[in-house]
Amino acid sequence: MTTHPDTSVRDHDPAVAALVELARPARAISAFTGAGISTESGIPDYRGPGGVWERNAPPTLSDFRMNPATRRQYWTERRERYPSLRDTQPNAGHLALARLQSAGRLSHVITQNIDGLHQKAGSDPERTIELHGTAHQVRCLDCGASWPADQIQSRLEFEPLPACELCGGMLRAATVLFGQAMPEDALRRAFAVARSSDLMLVVGSSLIVQPAARLPEIAVANGAQLAIVNNEPTPIDSLADVVVRFSAGAVLSALADALLDG
Q: Where does this chain bind ligand NAD (CB under 6 A)?
A: 1-2, 34-36, 38-40, 43, 45-47, 52, 112-115, 132, 204-206, 209, 230-232, 247-248
Do residues 179 and 203 make contact, with C-beta atoms less than 8 angstroms apart? no
For ligand NAD, the closer of residues 82 and 115 by Cβ is 115
Stated as kind and residue range, the H or E segment containing 175 is strand 171-175
How far is C-alpha 88 from the chain's CA centre? 14
Task: Quickly count: other Cβ atoms within 10 Å of residue 83's Cβ.
Answer: 13
Residue 47 to residue 131: CA distance in whole angstroms: 19
Nearest-approach distance from CB 148 to ligand NAD, in angstroms: 17
- Alpha carbon separation from 48 to 44, 168, 207 (Å, rounded): 6, 38, 15
- Residue among 48, 58, 122, 169 that touches Zn ion (CB under 5 A): 169
Kindly state whether residue 166 participates in binding Zn ion, applying the rule CB under 5 A.
yes
| 38 contact, one of ligand NAD, Zn ion, none, CB 5-8 Å limit per kind | ligand NAD
Residue 123 to residue 136: CA distance in whole angstroms: 16
| 140 contact, one of Zn ion, ligand NAD, none, CB 5-8 Å limit per kind | Zn ion
For Zn ion, the closer of residues 167 and 221 by Cβ is 167
For Zn ion, the closer of residues 137 and 205 by Cβ is 137
- Residue among 106, 110, 140, 226 that touches Zn ion (CB under 5 A): 140
Catalytic residues: 132
Give DSSP secondary structure letters for 223-259. T-EEEEE-SS--TTGGG-SEEE-S-HHHHHHHHHHHH
Nearest-approach distance from CB 251 to ligand NAD, in angstroms: 8
Nearest-approach distance from CB 53 to ligand NAD, in angstroms: 8
Nearest-approach distance from CB 3 to ligand NAD, in angstroms: 7
Nearest-approach distance from CB 111 to Zn ion, in angstroms: 27
| 166 contact, one of ligand NAD, Zn ion, none, CB 5-8 Å limit per kind | Zn ion
| 167 contact, one of ligand NAD, Zn ion, none, CB 5-8 Å limit per kind | Zn ion
What three-state secondary structure class fits 20?
Answer: helix
Residue 122 to residue 132: CA distance in whole angstroms: 20
| 206 contact, one of ligand NAD, Zn ion, none, CB 5-8 Å limit per kind | ligand NAD
Kindly state whether residue 164 participates in binding Zn ion, applying the rule CB under 5 A.
yes
Residue 122 to residue 96: CA distance in whole angstroms: 10
Amino acid found at 137 = Q
